[in-house]
A and B are shown apart, each in its own frame.
Chain A
Amino acid sequence: MTERKYLTGEFFMSGDDACAEGAISAGCRFFAGYPITPASEIAERMSERLPEVAGTYIQMEDELASLAAVLGASWGGVKAMTATSGPGFSLMMENLGLGIMTETPCVIVDVQRGSPSTGLPTLTGQGDMMQARWGSHGSYSIIALSPDSPQELYDLTIRAFNLSEKYRLPVLIMTEAATGHMYEKVIIPPMHEIAVVHRRKPAVSADEYLPFKPDADLVPPMANAGEGYRVHITGLTHDEQGYPAMTAEAQDSLVRRLVDKIERNRDDIIDLEEDRIDGAEVVVCSYGISARVSRIAVEQARREGIRVGMLRLITVWPFPEDRIRDISEQASAFVVPEVNYGQISLEVERCACGRAKTVLVPHMGGGVHSPATILEAIKQVAR
């Protein structure tokens, strides 16, 4: 592979295209997808770019098959991704669970649009945030990232792959139409400057290898198919050998570990952007395109003399519970703008636990907030 196959430099690029380039930079060499607005551009770019880097693109018959193929490809030893929007994301919940249960590294991009159901295919929304957390059946923890620009879609796609390989699970990029379809400058660094993580391989022979025996970080090393380890991988509750184990004890130890491997590594996973939170009376907490709009309102509020801080959730899941608790000790209120009727605001409210007031600034989708709406909410609580 020649260096020119990798883009390096400054580009005027859409968020969707930047996401695809981030995947290529992260080492993604397999994409399976199904066309859906507003995520189709990611598939289109991957169909063009992957053959240039000896990767594989396949258009599947639906989103059930897309994520199934991605999981299969990952076990074939290749970094793999799919991209979709709400209706397809709903179909992927089935195999998201399989990916969690079998600890399969991969990346799923949800370019959110107005919802529920077919909703507003071409217009923006943030209505899938709780589905990202709880959409597949059962108890599990997930990692979801929320970029606020095409540049960050590039950067966070690399991070999503790195986290998926490190912690062995599907990592979600929860972006939205407004960011996916936004064109901005995107800087792609030279390849040698990009840190890329690969899944940890077994350090023992096939005879000694237990596919689900975790290391100290609770993540088991992963043998790919065809490497002679003769693994058995199942969505059933399984023991360290990977064999079905239909007992409450096996369930307890597996499910706890699947959750704990994320929750105990929160400090490594959670990424926040904070601006003048110390001494703030009001803290605006937001993510994605809504955080971008919120900044305008925050600056205006400051000009009007209100002590307002800004907390942007770059990692949305796992939720930064501790940081919200800390802030709730000093600030009097959180203002949470999001393009839904209240999802992440519920988490903020849970963690603030009455110590600080939580005010949702909802938008039903189809557009973004007017900064004036957010400013008004800030003023209301600051009074």
Chain B
Amino acid sequence: MNKPTTNRAGHPLDPYLRAERMPHIWCSGCGLGLVVNCFLRGLIQSRLALDKVVVVSGIGCAGRAAGYINLDSFHTTHGRAIPFATGLKLANPELKVVVISGDGDLTAIGGNHLIHAARRNADLTVLCINNFIYGMTGGQGGPTTPLTARTTTSVGGNIDQPFNIPYLAAASGAAYVARWTTAQVVRLQKSITEALLKNGFGLIEIITPCPTYYGRMNKQRTGLEQMKYYRDNSIIKSGIDPKHAGIEFNGPIIVGRFVD
């Protein structure tokens, strides 16, 4: 299982997926497929023993990633992926435990667990997939929704300041912090490999299109439009203090590796 081979379905990553569960539930134009693709390629590159890699997810669109990946995988309660993963890793330190979940799951209902896992430098790799919105439940605003962005619970524009996730993770003590968008797939892949091979708490925020809700409500109607926005507005500033990587509505997106 260590080298991808082409099977009847023709996709080189099929052996790493639970292909029998396809098609997945994600909308067309959604970026989660790209994230899973980058994760699997980054994982293959890491050469970790796949029987010892475990994926833990919370609840939400991103939370479904665990169910499509052909590894030991756990789809837990809303917000609790990180503490579940913490127990799993402590019980069997041989395992490489990866948390793949969304911004609402990890920074709202699970926000307390995120900062405490970073504080105690839990040996976990966290992929925090940020689409600025609660997708699974129908596009409600959340703790990452940019100021003035429209959502189904803020049709007049969001009035709350969003979290700057890399800044939050770094301030809490994370050993590795990066942010990429789904428009930088090669950099994202490399970053995932890097984080997987790192000891301690690593977090990669991945800005991901949700055309169905976030895009539709904010004049980026297709996944492609959102990807073009990422491509045209991402600025790579590796090494900067993530304090300066806040996200403004329709503004530039600072990406890069901030803590290593």
Give the docked Cα–Cα distance between A266 and B113 (Å).
Answer: 38
Q: Which residue on chain A has the smallest CB distance to residue B72? A: A225
Contact with A along B85-120 (1 / 0, CB 8 A): 111111110110000000000000000110010000
Q: A65-B116, A72-B56 are in contact. Are A60 and B83 (CB under 8 A)?
A: yes
Task: Kindly list chain A residues whose C-beta atoms are within 8 Å of the C-beta of B88.
Answer: 72-73, 75-76, 225
| A232 and B18 form a contact (CB under 8 A) | yes
Which 10 pairs of residues, A with B, have the shortest CB-CB distance? A76-B91, A72-B87, A69-B87, A65-B83, A72-B88, A68-B83, A234-B75, A73-B91, A73-B87, A76-B92
A360 within 8 A of B: no
Q: Does A56 contact B (CB under 8 A)?
A: yes
For A69, the closest partner residue in chain B by CB is B87
| Interface assignment of A78: CB less than 8 Å from any CB of chain B | yes
Measured between beta carbons, the chain A residues less than 8 angstroms from B76 are 68, 71, 98, 235
Q: Which residues of B contact A97 (CB under 8 A)?
A: 77
How long is the Cα–Cα vector from A260 to B193 in the complex, in angstroms? 45
Residues in B neighbouring A371, C-beta threshold 8 A: none
In the complex, are the beta carbons of A225 and B83 less than 8 A apart? no
Q: Could you say which residues of chain A place their CB within 8 Å of the CB of B90? A: 30, 56, 58, 69, 73, 76
Contact B95 A76 (CB under 8 A): yes
* B21 interfacial by beta-carbon distance below 8 Å: yes
Known contacts A95-B77, A235-B75; is-contact A226 B87 (Cβ 8 Å)? no
A135 within 8 A of B: no
- B54 CB within 8 Å of chain A: yes
Mark each residue of chain B from 63 to 74: 1 if its CB lies under 8 Å from any CB of chain A, else 0.
000110011111
Report 10 cross-chain contacts, Cβ distance below 8 Å, ordered by A residue: A61-B113, A65-B80, A71-B87, A76-B95, A94-B80, A98-B77, A225-B72, A230-B71, A231-B72, A244-B67
Q: Does A335 contact B (CB under 8 A)?
A: no
- Give the interface centre of A61, A225, A231 by most chain B CB atoms within 10 Å: A225
Besides the known contacts A64-B83, A68-B86, A226-B95, 11 further A-B residue pairs in the complex with CB atoms under 8 A apart: A56-B91, A65-B83, A68-B87, A71-B84, A72-B89, A98-B77, A102-B74, A226-B51, A230-B71, A234-B75, A243-B21
Contact digits for A207-249, partner B, Cβ 8 Å, 1 yes 0 no: 0000000000000000011111111111110000001100000
Q: Which residue of B is nearest A244, CB measured?
A: B67
| CB proximity of A158 to chain B, nearest CB, Å | 20
> A residues touching B (Cβ–Cβ < 8 Å)?
29-30, 32, 56, 58, 60-62, 64-66, 68-78, 80, 94-95, 97-98, 102, 224-236, 243-244
- Chain B contacts for A230, CB-based, 8 A: 51, 70-72
Q: Which residues of A contact B91 (CB under 8 A)?
A: 29-30, 56, 72-78, 80
B174 shortest CB reach to chain A, Å:
16
Contact B112 A226 (CB under 8 A): no
* A232-B66 CB under 8 A given contacts A65-B113, A65-B116, A225-B54: yes
Question: What's the minimum C-beta distance from B2 to chain A, rounded to whole angstroms?
Answer: 14
Q: Across the interface, do B72 and A226 meet the contact criterion of CB distance under 8 Å?
A: yes
Q: How far is the CB of A24 from chain B (nearest CB, A)?
A: 16
Residues of A within 8 A of B21 (CB): 243
Name the residue in A56, A68, A78 with the highest tally of chain B Cβ atoms < 10 Å from its Cβ: A68
- B52 contacts chain A at the CB level, 8 A cutoff: yes
* B80–A95 touching, CB < 8 Å: yes
Task: Give Cα A61–Cα B87 distance, bound, in whole angstroms.
Answer: 13
Q: Which residues of A contact B56 (CB under 8 A)?
A: 72
Chain B residues 158 to 196 lying within 8 A of chain A, measured CB to CB, are none
Complex-state Cα separation, A229 to B80, whole angstroms: 23
Identity of the chain A residue whose Cβ is nearest the Cβ of B75 in the assembled complex: A234
Query: Could you say which of B21, B66, B73, B84 has the most chain A C-beta atoms within 10 Å of its C-beta?
Result: B84
Q: Which residues does chain A contribute within 8 Å of B113, judged by CB atoms? A: 61, 64-65, 68
Complex CA distance for A62 and B52, rounded to whole angstroms: 28
B70: nearest residue on chain A (CB-CB)? A230
> How distant is the Cα of A72 from the Cα of B91 in the complex, in angstroms?
8
- Given that A95-B80, A232-B73, A234-B75 are known contacts, is A58 also in contact with B94, CB under 8 Å in the complex? no
Tell me how far the C-beta of B60 lies from the nearest C-beta in chain A, rounded to whole angstroms.
12
- Asked whether A69 and B86 contact (CB < 8 A) given A61-B116, A78-B91, A233-B75, the answer is yes
B77 touches A77 (CB 8 A): no
> Least Cβ distance of A232 to chain B in Å?
5
Given contacts A65-B116, A230-B71, A232-B67, contact A32 B77 (CB under 8 A): no
Q: For the complex formed, measure the closest distance between the CB of A272 and the CB atoms of chain B, giving whole angstroms.
A: 34
Is the beta-carbon distance between B72 and A58 smaller than 8 angstroms? no
Distance of A94 from chain B, by nearest CB (Å): 6
Q: Return chain A residues, CB-CB under 8 Å to B73.
A: 231-233
Q: Chain B residues with Cβ under 8 A from A232's Cβ?
A: 18, 66-67, 72-75
Chain B residues with Cβ below 8 Å from A225 are 54, 72, 74, 88, 92, 95
CA distance A72 to B122 in the complex (A): 14
Residues in chain B near residue A70, CB distance under 8 A: 87
A228–B83 Cα gap in the complex (Å)?
23
Partner of A72, one of B52, B71, B85: B85
B18–A69 touching, CB < 8 Å? no
- Complex CA gap A63/B181 in Å reads 34
Q: Which residue of B lies closest to A79 (CB)?
A: B91
Residue of A nearest to B25 (CB): A244
- In the bound complex, CA of A236 to CA of B58 (Å): 11
* Separation of A375 and B80 alpha carbons in the complex (Å): 49
Question: Within the assembled complex, what's the spacing in Å between the Cα atoms of A199 and B85?
Answer: 21
Bound: A64/B77 CA distance, A: 10
Closest to A32 in B: B87
Quick check: A68 and B95 within 8 Å, CB to CB?
no
A272 CA / B70 CA spacing, docked (Å): 46
